[in-house]
Amino acid sequence: MVIQLILSSLLMIFLMVIPGVIFRKRRMITEEQGDAVNSIIVNLTWPCLVIDAMQMEFSAKILRESSYIFLICVIVFGCLFLLSFLLARWLKFSERRQYLMTFMLLFGNTGFIGIPVIRVLYGETAVFFMAVIEMINDILIFTVGIFLIQLSAGANVKAEWRKMCSPGMLGVLIGLVLFLCRITLPETLGRAVEMMGNATTPLTMFMIGFQLGGLRVSEIMAEWQTCIVSLFKLILVPALCLAVVMGIDILLPSGEGCLSLMEKVVVLSFAMPVGSVAAIFSRQYRTDSTFAVRTVLLSTFFCFITLPVFAILLEKVSEMGGF
């Protein structure tokens, strides 16, 4: 029953992607109009979705689970940081691509794709967990991430602290403050925030379709390094995260005997495609932007195959009971 629900939810997401592909192929909207829709999502509906998801009753359990998320993320990020450099050297990537590959394996599209997908699959509580992951992700992107991109470009390394104050990050911080202070938004304001947040999923899927509509998979797959990084991000990275989660459960058994909702959310967050921020930063710092753009698009294309596989795998592992 759970697997049927997952497949049904992912099919619904896939159907929402199709209009974007059609609009792109038929040139029914321009690139500039697409950028405008993207801006609405990033600056308005996405922060509203996060704030609305955090409008829940304060509990010590959620705080404990959030701390657990932080622990898992730190371990997985540390392992990925080392593993990516070893893989890049083994595969004989150029130095600039080594740093770029590390960036792309570390930072998935947890906000733009992750939050809407997780919401459809697991509901509002899961979005809260994704918001915590997104906050960790944002902090690392504008510190460690910028460091890697600057090394790839051969530029002077410096942290971009001001850019951490993005609308998405502010949405997470506002939602977190409201949650910790046990503040509930007035009914009218709360409903307005909820309705704007609800627009995130369909708009996001439309824009993914719009991006995929301009993609020529055959051209992109002709470069083997793009394919390798995409496969690593969609398969190796979430598999590593699942191994870490199961290892922690063995060392520190919770007594539940199965994967919790929070653990499923964390693993799926690492199964997301390469974040579009890789393409944005690589262009801004004049490193290998073509490689980044192609990897972002190809991993996004194939995530519609790998995400259902991992979602079903997590349910199967959970049904097994103990580890």
Domain ranges of the chain: 45-198+217-319
* Strand, coil or helix: 320: coil
pLDDT (0 to 100) of residue 253: 64
Q: What is the mean pLDDT of residues 177-193?
A: 91
pLDDT (0 to 100) of residue 11: 78
Question: Tokens for 3?
Answer: 């697997």
Does residue 133 contact residue 266 with C-beta atoms inside 8 Å?
yes
Distance, CA of 3 to CA of 311 (rounded, Å): 8
- Residue 180 CB-density burial (10 A; 0-12 exposed, 13-18 middle, 19+ buried): exposed
- Of 168, 146, 173, 142, nearest in space to 157 by CA: 146
pLDDT (0 to 100) of residue 233: 96
Cβ count near 259 (within 10 Å): 23
Contacts of 178 (CB under 8 A, 6+ apart): 51, 54, 55, 184, 185
* Strand, coil or helix: 275: coil
Instruction: Please name the helix (run of DSSP H) or strand (run of DSSP E) that holds residue 202, with its range, or none.
Output: helix 200-213
Phi, psi of 259 (to 5 degrees): -70, 130
- Of 10, 7, 118, nearest in space to 69 by CA: 118
Average pLDDT of every residue of the chain:
83
**Can you name the CATH fold of 45-198+217-319?**
Na+/H+ antiporter like fold (1.20.1530)
Does residue 269 contact residue 105 with C-beta atoms inside 8 Å?
no
Does residue 142 contact residue 163 with C-beta atoms inside 8 Å?
yes
Q: How confident is the model at residue 161 (pLDDT cuts 50, 70, 90)?
A: low
Q: What is the mean pLDDT of residues 215-239?
A: 85
Q: Is the pLDDT of residue 7 over 80?
A: no
Q: How confident is the model at residue 76 (pLDDT cuts 50, 70, 90)?
A: very high
Q: What is the mean pLDDT of residues 227-249?
A: 92
Distance, CA of 314 to CA of 138 (rounded, Å): 26
pLDDT (0 to 100) of residue 319: 76
Distance, CA of 258 to CA of 323 (rounded, Å): 8
Phi, psi of 274 (to 5 degrees): -55, 135
Q: How confident is the model at residue 92 (pLDDT cuts 50, 70, 90)?
A: confident
At which residue do the structure tokens 């979602």 appear?
311
Q: How confident is the model at residue 115 (pLDDT cuts 50, 70, 90)?
A: confident
Q: How confident is the model at residue 103 (pLDDT cuts 50, 70, 90)?
A: very high
Q: What is the mean pLDDT of residues 295-299?
A: 87
Q: How confident is the model at residue 160 (pLDDT cuts 50, 70, 90)?
A: low
pLDDT (0 to 100) of residue 185: 92
Distance, CA of 52 to CA of 127 (rounded, Å): 9
Query: Higher pLDDT residue, 187 or 147?
Result: 187
Q: What is the mean pLDDT of residues 242-267?
A: 81
For every residue of 4-41, DSSP letters joined together read: HHHHHHHHHHHHHHHHHHHHHHTT-S-HHHHHHHHHHI
pLDDT (0 to 100) of residue 216: 74
pLDDT (0 to 100) of residue 228: 92
pLDDT (0 to 100) of residue 214: 77
What percent of the chain shows pLDDT beyond 70? 90
Q: What is the mean pLDDT of residues 228-232?
A: 93
pLDDT (0 to 100) of residue 238: 95
Query: Higher pLDDT residue, 260 or 252?
Result: 260
Q: Is the pLDDT of residue 255 over 70?
A: no
Query: Higher pLDDT residue, 204 or 221?
Result: 204
For every residue of 67-93, DSSP letters joined together read: HHHHHHHHHHHHHHHHHHHHHHHHTT-
pLDDT (0 to 100) of residue 155: 60
Q: How confident is the model at residue 268 (pLDDT cuts 50, 70, 90)?
A: very high
- Of 94, 84, 96, nearest in space to 287 by CA: 96
Cβ count near 217 (within 10 Å): 12
Q: pTM to 2 decimals?
A: 0.78
Contacts of 140 (CB under 8 A, 6+ apart): 77, 106, 107
Q: What is the mean pLDDT of residues 12-27?
A: 87
Query: Higher pLDDT residue, 5 or 24?
Result: 24
